[in-house]
Structure 1
């Protein structure tokens, strides 16, 4: 059983996870909440207004939804109840610069302390497994930028004033650090991680 399945077993009405939120956008996210609720949530940009998200961004740890006293002017939690998300818990893990959040929902009862603790263990493991590299060197970044702009190796090396073999070494190091098989994949991952604009 993978971690998503483990988390989902704790949440009869579904779960949602956003991993490594950086620059207001998660690196990875998924939800098993009812599809109708996911559609409403996304169409109304509730992620920008959700009191549970605000709580998770500002506080580390976990809490039952019923324990969180934050304004909900759009009645997001009330609307969620109409889709069976009546009880639940939220968890937050990681540094503010790369925070991960999760929610689990039930329709029958409050989440138990042990269920919340297990959900937090799973969130922490997901956060660790999805961790982006800490940094790329300026040399790696300059090489990836040019490759992302469509330069060929010879032209990129000339633009940087280095040999083609030095350029290839930089790209190889970047691929290793980004766990990418190809330079194109390294450029894509560097963009996703926010290293390239």
Structure 2
């Protein structure tokens, strides 16, 4: 779970601030987020995914072109699919978009409520939390050689015992290396760690 990596406190605060949920993509690179958290109404999330709305969402479009915050009501961008009005049908009536980070590794979030606009003070708190989460979840620039070797052997199909023997270490030491690699890459499984390490050219 994401909670294992010290992000849970910030995410819990965001849930309190956005009663109708939020979507947060941390460190978006090559159109894929390093970590994606979504707490909107699941029916809206499913519709959004099925229709491929991310590529046409004015909030996401704004996020890639700007840094900072903006209320959804202030977005002056085309919305030919009526995404914002459809979202309102699922309780996402008022919202704020937040964008932070370099264009090469940007974090974009949308936060919603159904009763009123977010206040300036709330927007500032949300923005500060997003910046903090962005910093805490920065992908590593490199793995240790021990972590790389362990992941490479598993990626090639070696079982734990076999990989440990090849490295001349105990199986528990191998598992410790794999665990530390998973933690560094913010993933739950070794398979995800291998995939993410490959995506970031760390292997």
TM-score, L = length of structure 1: 0.77
State the SS of the aligned residue for 1:28. strand
Structure with max Cα Rg:
1
How far apart, CA to CA, are the structure 2 residues paired with 1:107 and 1:57? 25
State the SS of the aligned residue for 2:104. helix
Counterpart of 1:189 in structure 2 is: 193
Between 13-22 and 136-145, report the one with greater CA deviation: 136-145
Q: Deviations over 1:76-102 (max 9, x none)?
A: 011111112111100011122221111
Residues 14, 104 of structure 1: 8 Å contact kept:
yes
TM-score, L = length of structure 2: 0.75
Aligned mate of 2:44, from 27, 37, 42? 37
State the SS of the aligned residue for 2:26. strand
Aligned residues: 186
Between 134-143 and 97-106, report the one with greater CA deviation: 134-143
Q: 1:145 to 1:104 in 2, by over 3 A?
A: same
How far apart, CA to CA, are the structure 2 residues paired with 1:142 and 1:70? 48
Q: CA RMSD in A?
A: 3.2
Counterpart of 1:105 in structure 2 is: 112
Between 128-137 and 96-105, report the one with greater CA deviation: 128-137
State the SS of the aligned residue for 2:99. strand
- 1:44-59 equivalent positions in 2, closer than 5 A: 44-59=51-66
Q: 1:146 to 1:81 in 2, by over 3 A?
A: same
Q: Deviations over 1:13-70 (max 9, x none)?
A: 2211111112211122122222221121122121222111111122111111122211
Counterpart of 1:160 in structure 2 is: none
Q: Which runs of 5+ in 1 are unaligned?
A: 158-163
